[in-house]
A and B are shown apart, each in its own frame.
Chain A
Amino acid sequence: MTDVTAAAGAHGYFQAQARWRWLEIVFWLATLLPFVLTPSYLVLASQIAITALFALALDLILGYAGLISLGHAAFFGFGAYTAGLISKWGWGEPLSGLLLAGIAAALLGYATSFIIVRVSHLALIMITLGLCLLLHEAANRAGWLTGGDDGLQGVTMWRLFGRFEWDLYGYTAYAYSLAVLFVLFLLARRIIHSPFGLTLRGIRENAGRMQAVGAPTRRRLRVIYTISAAVAGVAGGVLAQTTQFVALETLSFQRSAEVLVILVLGGAGRLYGAIIGAVIFLIARDQFSGINPQFWYFWIGLLLVVVVTLLPNGILGGLAQLLAQQRRKKSS
C-alpha cells in the first residue's frame, strides 16, 4: 500500500464512521410505521420515544464520557415539572415551554457538574443518587407546588403550531415526541463524531492520560454533563406536555435505575443502544404488564445479571461482536 492510499485510508476511516448507514435510514423510516400499522399503540410509541430520549441523554455521559450516574431522573423530573408548571401557570405553548424545561435542567446540570466532575467511585455514585433523592423528597414535601404524591395536575397544552390538537389517540403526541427525539438525536450524533466527542471517549478510556496530554478534563466533562442534563430535561418536558400530568415518580430512584438498565441492555456508547433498549424494554413491559409485577422485577434482575456477566456491551455490542466474528471467519 503506497503512502498516499494509506493516508487516504486514514481519512476514509473517519469519514466512514460519520457517514449515515442505510440501516440507520431504514430504522428512522420504520419509526413512522406506528402511525399506519399500529395506531392503537401510539401512546406507547410516545412513551418509547420519550424514554429513548432520556436514555440517549444518559448515554452521552455514561457511554461516551464514562460518568456513572444513579440519579439522572433528577434532570428528567426537573424538566417535567418545569414544563408542567409553566403550562399550569398559563403559558401552554408547547415548543417554548419545552425549551424552557431544557434550559432549566441545563442550569441544574451545570450547577451540579462542578462537584460531579471532582469525585469518582462511591462518592460519585452517592452524590448523583443523593441529588436525585433530594429533589424527590423536596417535590414530595412541596405539595403546594408540585401536588406531592398525587402529582402535578392541571397541565393544559395549547395546540401545536396553533393547528394540531392533542388528540386522545396520541397522533400529535407521537409526532411531537418522535420529532423531538430525532432532532436531539441529530445533535447527539453531531457531538459524538466531532473532536469534542473524541475527547470524551479519551476521558472515558483514560482520564489520567488525557490530562497528561494537556486536556482540561473537568471542563470537558462539565460541558457534556450540562448537555446531558438539558436533553434529559427536554425528555421530561415532552412527557409532561404529552400526558398533561407529572407524576412524582419522574424524580424517583426507580426511574434512574430503569433508564440505566435500558441503556445497558441496548448497549452504552452506541447512541442507538439507548433507543433499541427503550423499544425492547417498554414493549416487553407492556406485554407482561398483565402478569404479576413481581415476575417482571425478577426477570429484569436476572436479565441484568446475565447481561453483565455474558453480554457486557449490551445487545448492540453483542451483535457487533457477532458480526466481527463472522467477518473474521470469512476472511480466514
Chain B
Amino acid sequence: MNAVPASGPALRARGLSKNFGSLAVARNINLELPQGARYALIGPNGAGKTTLINLLTGTLQPAAGQIFIYDQEITALKPDARVKRGLVRTFQINTLFPNLTPLEAVALVICERRGDAPVWWRPLPHYRAAIDQAFDLLSKLMLDNVCHVPTRELAYGQQRLLEIALALATEPRVLLLDEPAAGVPREESGKLFNAISALPSDITVLFIEHDMDIVFRFATRIIVMVAGAILLEGSPEEVANNPQVREVYLGGKQHG
C-alpha cells in the first residue's frame, strides 16, 4: 500500500449531493471518519445509505461534493482506482464468484493487489506467498475447511463471511460494510461477529446495519440518515435517547 505516512481523517466527504431526476437521494452529506473508527450508518429503508456507499466508492458520480482518503482527493477516481487507494466495500447481496472456490477467489484478489494479475506466462502454483496469505485469511474467518468448495455450494452464512474475506484480501485502509449480517440466521451470526471484532484496529470501518444488536455491540459512533441527509451523529447512547431518531424509526410512539 502507500509508504507515505497517513495524515488527516481516514475518510472525509464534503457536501456530497446526488439526484435521480427530481428525487434528491443525497443532500449535502458531510462525513468524517478518524483512523480506526467503528462507525455505524443507520436509517430507515430508502434513506440513501447504500447510495452513499455507492457515491463513496465511485459507482455513482455525485452532482456535487468531494471525497478524501487520508487527505488525498479521490472524487474523480474510478472505482478500481479507489480500491488501490485503500477504499473497499462489501455488498448487501452476496456478490461473489459462484464457480470459484473460496481459495481461488481470495487468491485472485491477493494477486490483484500484489500486481501479479496481468502475468499470463507463469502458473499459479509459483505464487506461494499469495496462496499462503489466501489460506491464512480464510482460516481467520473460519472458512479454511471449505476453501475447496465452489462458492455456490457454501452455506449462506459462509458466503457472507467470504464476502468480507474478499474485501479484506485487498488490505483496505477504509472498509465499508453494507449490511454484513443481512439474512444471516441467529445460529451463524456468532462467526460473523467474531470476524467483525477481529478486524485489525488500524482499519477504519463504516457499516450499514439494521440489526441493532450489532450496531450497539460494535459501533463507537452512529450516524443516522433520513431521506438522503444526515439527521444526526453521536455516541450510541446519544442516538438511542434522541427523540427525533425514535420518531423516525418508531413513528413517534415508544415501545418499551
Contacts and interface: CB of A to CB of B under 8 A. Distances in A.
B226 interface: no
A5 to B, nearest CB: 12
Interface stretch (B5-13, B98-106, B189-197, B211-219): B98-106
B89 interface: yes
* Chain A interface helix/strand/loop/mixed: helix
A196 B100 contact: no
Interface string A189-232: 01101111111011001101101111111001001000000000
A196 B124 CA distance: 9
Interface in A3-54: 3, 6-7, 9-11, 13-15, 17-18
Contact of A196 (B79, B118, B131): B118
Interface stretch (B24-32, B60-68, B132-140): B132-140
B205 interface: no
A213 B83 contact: yes
Interface in B67-85: 79-81, 83-84
B208 to A, nearest CB: 16
Contacts of A199: 108, 111-112, 117
A223 B170 CA distance: 23
B123 A198 contact: no
Nearest to B152: A205
Nearest to A206: B97
Contact of A205 (B81, B97, B103): B97
Contacts of A15: 125
A202 B95 CA distance: 11
Given A213-B109, A214-B80, A14 B131 contact: yes
A137 to B, nearest CB: 35
B79 A194 contact: no
Contact of A213 (B123, B139, B166): B166
B57 A195 contact: no
Nearest to B163: A209
Given A14-B125, A212-B88, A213-B83, A198 B144 contact: no
B213 to A, nearest CB: 27
B124 A193 contact: yes
B37 to A, nearest CB: 21
Nearest to B99: A205
Contact of B104 (A198, A213, A217): A198
Interface residues of B, number: 49
A195 B124 contact: yes
B169 interface: yes
B113 A214 contact: yes
A214 B112 contact: yes
B119 interface: yes
Given A14-B131, A15-B125, A213 B120 contact: no
B147 interface: yes
A118 to B, nearest CB: 14
B148 interface: yes
Contacts of A193: 123-124
Nearest to B113: A214
A11 B128 contact: yes
Contacts of B131: 10-11, 14
Contacts of B139: 3, 6
Given A201-B100, A211-B79, A215-B112, A194 B119 contact: yes
A314 to B, nearest CB: 15
Contacts of A212: 57, 79, 83, 88-89, 91, 95
B124 A14 contact: yes
Nearest to B85: A214
A238 B84 CA distance: 44
A209 B95 contact: yes
B245 to A, nearest CB: 31
A206 B107 CA distance: 15
Contacts of B79: 211-212
A197 B104 CA distance: 11
B95 A213 contact: no
A196 B120 contact: yes
Given A193-B124, A206-B97, A214-B84, 20 more contacts: A9-B148, A10-B134, A11-B128, A11-B131, A14-B107, A14-B131, A17-B124, A194-B124, A195-B111, A195-B120, A196-B120, A202-B105, A206-B98, A209-B96, A211-B80, A212-B95, A213-B83, A213-B167, A214-B83, A215-B117
13 contacts: A10-B103, A195-B111, A195-B119, A195-B120, A195-B124, A205-B97, A209-B91, A209-B95, A212-B57, A212-B91, A213-B83, A214-B113, A217-B80
Give 9 closest A-B pairs by Cβ, nearest first: A214-B83, A205-B97, A196-B120, A195-B111, A10-B135, A15-B125, A18-B123, A14-B124, A191-B120
